[in-house]
Amino acid sequence: MFARYFIATLLAGSLAGIAHAEEEAAPDWNGTTLTGDWGGKRTELYNKGITLEFDHKSDVMSNVSGGYKRGSNWMGETEARATFDLQKLLGWYKTTGYIHFHSQLGSRFNTNYAGTFMGVSNIEAPVNTAQFAHAWLQKSFADDSLEVLGGIYQVDSEFYVTETSGLFLQPPYGMANDLGQPNLVGANAAPIYPIGALGVRVKYTSPDKNVYLQAAVTDGVPGAPNNPAARGTQIRLDKGDGTLAIVEFGYTPQQSEPPFEAAKPGQIIEPELKVHEEHETFNKTAVGFWRYSAHSNSQDPADTQLYSNRGMYFLAERSLMVEQGHPAQGLSGFVRFGTANKHVNQADWTASLGLRYHGLLERRDDDIAGIAVTVNHASPIYRTLNASTGSETQVEATYRAQINPWFALQPDLQYFIHPGMGGTDINGVAMKNVWVLGLRAEINF
């Protein structure tokens, strides 16, 4: 009954004389994907309201020093994404559907070789499986100022993230480890890669796009944490799971003109591949808060008190320098800091900062180079119980080479100080600092 009423309401809105927006030009599938336009079928689907995207990432990682043991392994992830413009398809005014399905294959490189707290590759998963990361509907209201989303959802797709940090291969440059770390003494975990959870997200954006406020409530125990070998999409709403609530307030001032100097008279500007945005400007500051409704035991077995697992975070990213005459190239940076309950979590605060340069080398205008540092600080209780060194610090240097519009190679160098916050190797000896060499290949189909 409710479903019929909901559909009727959407249809009524679409029949209220509201005209469809003008058709946007279809993407250049032949120029930016390996498989092209499928003889025009991809464009045909796009014009009907269906956008299909496929890509694959492969990582080859080698632990050359320190950690558990030396060795190399391969990991892979294949993704399929479908976006449905339900206004075009069904006449549902300003309604979008989205499905993101992905599979993971390969080894557990960090688990078996490196032994770090923060992880080495952002496509490493506990088990080889295929599952839904997202499967949701979103409805827009009030001239797109208000958006309501519901379904299977990952909070790291919108919360606590910066675009500039997305270049790096390590997990904490997606969702930071203060919220992304597993709970040591309970089943709570955030719905982040590779697992989604049932949830609702509401987002308000000011008419001038300068300010936004978003909040989400999701299942407090996504997946099946009590069954590590579970495969596929696991949706369970068990008693005692509770919820995760997260809210973020952000300031994203818009610029009326691209932040670059015009070319001088007579200056020759070389053409760009334009795989990325024609104008690439970053200006975002945000603060967020999160909390699980279910309480957790302390890490200390002698402490019988229950604690609320919660935290806060701050982030900022900026375009620091834009090349003259090339608004898509230049230097940008980010900084992030977050906290978590010291009684419950291994890390009670994390901090990261990084720089990336788009178009650093001559005639390699679409390549991106970057360097970043992250610190994960061990909570005082964890240090006491585990004789921890207090923190794990990591440096990552990477270079993404855009070989052509649909294929990229990314060599990567990582260095970990006090891996595992003072963990031991397979022989029970304190691990030495870790050096990891890696290479990612990414194909857009």
- Read off the pLDDT of residues 90-128 as tens digits, 9 standing for 90 and up: 999 999 999 999 999 988 999 999 999 999 999 998 888
Q: What is the pLDDT of residue 181?
A: 86
Whether the pLDDT of residue 11 is over 60: the answer is no
- pLDDT tens digits, one per residue of 325-351: 777 789 999 999 999 999 999 999 999
Q: What is the pLDDT of residue 265?
A: 41
Whether the pLDDT of residue 262 is over 80: the answer is no
Q: Give the structural domain span for 184.
A: 30-223+240-255+276-444
Q: Is 151 inside a domain boundary?
A: yes
Q: What is the mean pLDDT of the segment spanning 417-435?
A: 82
65: left (phi over 0), alpha (psi -120 to 50) or beta: beta
Q: What is the pLDDT of residue 389?
A: 73
Q: What is the pLDDT of residue 385?
A: 87
Q: What is the pLDDT of residue 235?
A: 74
Q: Is 188 inside a domain boundary?
A: yes
Q: Is 93 inside a domain boundary?
A: yes
CA 287/CA 302 separation, integer angstroms: 35
User: CATH code at 196?
Assistant: 2.40.160.180
Q: Is 375 inside a domain boundary?
A: yes
Q: How confident is the model at residue 234 (pLDDT cuts 50, 70, 90)?
A: confident
Share of residues in the chain with pLDDT > 90 (%)? 62
Q: How confident is the model at residue 227 (pLDDT cuts 50, 70, 90)?
A: low
Whether the pLDDT of residue 167 is over 80: the answer is yes
Whether the pLDDT of residue 150 is over 60: the answer is yes
Spatial CB neighbours of 429, under 8 Å, sequence gap ≥ 6: none
The count of structural domains within the chain is: 1
Q: Is 351 inside a domain boundary?
A: yes
Whether the pLDDT of residue 7 is over 90: the answer is no
Q: Is 355 inside a domain boundary?
A: yes
Place of tokens 């294929």: 407
Q: b/e per residue, 132-168, with b = 16+ CB within 10 A?
A: bbbbbbbbbeeeeeebebebbbbbbbbbbbbebbebb
Q: Is 265 inside a domain boundary?
A: no
Q: What is the mean pLDDT of the segment spanning 405-417?
A: 97
Q: Is 19 inside a domain boundary?
A: no
- pLDDT tens digits, one per residue of 283-298: 999 999 999 998 888 8
CA 117/CA 37 separation, integer angstroms: 43
Whether the pLDDT of residue 363 is over 80: the answer is yes
CA 150/CA 217 separation, integer angstroms: 10
CB contact at 8 A, 341 and 307: yes
